[in-house]
Amino acid sequence: MSTVAPSSQEVQRPQRTIGPLTWLRENLFNTWYNSLITLLILWLLLRTVPAFAQWLFSANWEPILTRPVLYFVGQYPVAELWRVGVGVGLISFFFGLSWGTWGGPVRTFAIALMAGYAVVALIPVSLETIGLTARLFMVANIGLVIAGLGASRTPLGQGRWVLIGWIVIFFLFILLLRGFEGTPLELVSTGRWGGLMLNLMVAAVGIVASFPLGVLLALGRRSNLPVVRLFSTLFIELVRGVPLITILFMGSLLLPLFLPEDVRIDRVIRAVIGITLFSAAYMAENVRGGLQAIPEGQYEAARAIGLNAPLTTLLIILPQALRLVIPAIVGQFIALFKDTTLLIIVGINEILGIGKSIVLGNPEWVGAQIEVYLFIAALFWVFTYAMSYSSRRLERALGVGER
C-alpha cells in the first residue's frame, strides 16, 4: 500500500483554543435548563460518589480475598493447576503471535490482556491472597505475549499457521485440562471444572462448534430445495423463539430420556450441546445476513466461468460472506459468554455458581453478597468491554459498511 502525500492545496482548519471557562459554558451551562440539569447531577454525584468510595474501602472483601483462584478455576485440583497455567501461557503466546500477524484489532486486545496481567501482578493485597507464584506467572505471561510478537517475524507468523495454531491449541487446552485415565496426566472430570475458565471455555466451544452447523443452516435456509429450506427454517425459528434456559433444561432433563438408556452424557457436555444448538440458530441468521449482502453479479460471474452451484458457494460466495460477518460473530461470542452464566441454573459451577456457594458456604459471609456479585460483574465487564472494544476496531479495520 502506498501512502499518499498530503496535497499542497489542503488547507488546515485553524486551531480553536478554548479556555476552561468557555468549555464549561459551552458544555455544561449552554442553556438555562442544561445549567439546572448540570447542577442537579453534580449535587447527586456529590452525595453518592464519596459514599460509594467510602463503602468500597469499608466493604467486606473477605469472600473474594480468601481464595480468589476459586473464581477463576473453581474446584479444579490445586495440584493440577499447572495445566491451566500452561494453557493460559499458550494462549498468551498466540495472542502475541496474532498481534504481530494481523495487527490492528488483535493488538488492542493483546495490549488489554497484558495490562490485565500487569494489574493482577501488582494488586496491592497481601502475598497470601495472591501468591508470589501467581504474580510471577502473570509477569511470565506478559513475556509470552511479547515472545509471540517476536515470533511473528519468523515463518511461524504466517496467517495460515497462526489460524491452524489457534485451532490446535484450542483442542490441546481441552485435552490437557481433562487428562487421560491411567496416565501420569490424571483424568480431571468436567464436574470439577469451574469458575470463569468454564464460562470462557463453554462460550468458545459453543461458538466454534456452532459455526459449521450455522453455516449449513444458513445455506439450507437459502436453498432452493423446499424440504431442506423447511427443515432449516423450522429449526432456526424454533430455537430463536424460546429462551436459552429452556434449551439448557432440555439438555439436562430431556436429553437422557431421548437417548438410548445405555448412553450417558456428562452434565457439562449436555450443557455445551444445548448452547451449541442455541448458538447455531443465531449463527445461521448472522451468516444469512452475510450471504444476502453478496451481489447477484457474483453468482452470475461464477456461473459464467463454469462453476456449478456447490463450487460457487464454496469458492466464491462463502469466503466473501463469512468475511462480512466476522464482527457479528464476535458480537455473538460476547453475548454467548454472558449467557454462560445461565449454567448455574442447571447446576454447573460456573463463576456465578462459585460465588453463590462461597457466600452460602460461610454464615459470616452471607452479608457480603453485594461485594461478591459486584466483583463478578466487574470481571465480566472487563472481559466483555475489552472484547467489544476490539470488535469495534475490527469492524473499522474490515471496513464493514463502507463498501
Partner 1 sequence: MEDRDIQILKHGGIPFWRDVRVLKAAGQIISAIVVLGFLYFLASNALEAANSRGLSLGFGFLDDSAGFAIDDTPIAYDPSSTFGRALLVGLLNTIRVAFLGIVLATLLGIVVGTARLSSNWLVRNLANVYVETIRNVPLLVQLFFWFFAVFVRLPPVEESITLGRFLILNQRGVYVVAAHPTGTFFAWLATAVAGLLLALILYWRLNAHQLRTGRPTYPLTVAIATFILLPLVGWLLLSQPLAFDFPELGAFNYEGGTSLTTNFAALLVGLVIYTASFIAEIVRAGIQAVSKGQVEAARAVGLSNLQAMRLVIFPQALRVIIPPLISQYLNLTKNSSLAVAIGFKDFFAVGKTIIDQAGRAVPVFALIMLGYLVLSLTYSFIMNIYNRRIAFVER
Distance separating alpha carbons of residues 10 and 26, to the nearest angstrom: 29
Sort 5 into a burial class: Cβ within 10 Å, 0-12 / 13-18 / 19+. exposed
Sign of the C-alpha dihedral computed for residues 285, 290, 291 and 293 taken in this order: positive
Distance separating alpha carbons of residues 84 and 76, to the nearest angstrom: 9
Residue 292 touching partner 1 (CB under 8 A):
no
| Chain Cα centroid distance, residue 189 | 24
Residue 250 touching partner 1 (CB under 8 A):
yes
Stretch that binds partner 1, among 62-70, 75-83, 172-180, 258-266 (CB under 8 A): 258-266
CB of 77 to partner 1, least distance (A): 27
CB of 290 to partner 1, least distance (A): 18
What is the residue type of 164?
I
**Among the listed residues 344, 397, 398, 400, the single contact to partner 1 using CB under 8 A:** 344
**C-alpha cell of 148?**
509471540
- Residues touching partner 1, count (CB under 8 A): 52
Residue 198 touching partner 1 (CB under 8 A):
no
CB of 70 to partner 1, least distance (A): 17
Residue 240 touching partner 1 (CB under 8 A):
yes
What residues between 13 and 32 interact with partner 1 by CB under 8 A? Answer: 27-28, 30
CB of 103 to partner 1, least distance (A): 25
Residue 299 touching partner 1 (CB under 8 A):
no
Of 143, 85, 88, nearest in space to 114 by CA: 143
Residue 166 touching partner 1 (CB under 8 A):
no
Stretch that binds partner 1, among 133-141, 149-157, 288-296, 378-386 (CB under 8 A): 378-386
CB of 380 to partner 1, least distance (A): 5
What are the phi and psi torsion angles at 130 (to 5°)?
Answer: -115, 105
Residue 384 touching partner 1 (CB under 8 A):
yes
146 versus 344: smaller Cβ distance to partner 1: 344
Distance separating alpha carbons of residues 248 and 288, to the nearest angstrom: 25
Distance separating alpha carbons of residues 265 and 283, to the nearest angstrom: 25
Residue 182 touching partner 1 (CB under 8 A):
no
Phi-psi map region of 118: left, alpha, beta (phi>0 left; psi -120 to 50 alpha): alpha
Distance separating alpha carbons of residues 275 and 350, to the nearest angstrom: 14
Distance separating alpha carbons of residues 48 and 292, to the nearest angstrom: 50
First vs last C-alpha separation in the chain: 18
49 versus 301: smaller Cβ distance to partner 1: 49
Positions touching partner 1 (CB under 8 A) are 27-28, 30, 34, 37-38, 41-42, 224-228, 231, 238, 240-246, 249-250, 253-254, 257-261, 338-339, 341-342, 344-345, 352, 356, 359, 367, 369-370, 373-374, 376-377, 380-381, 384-385, 388
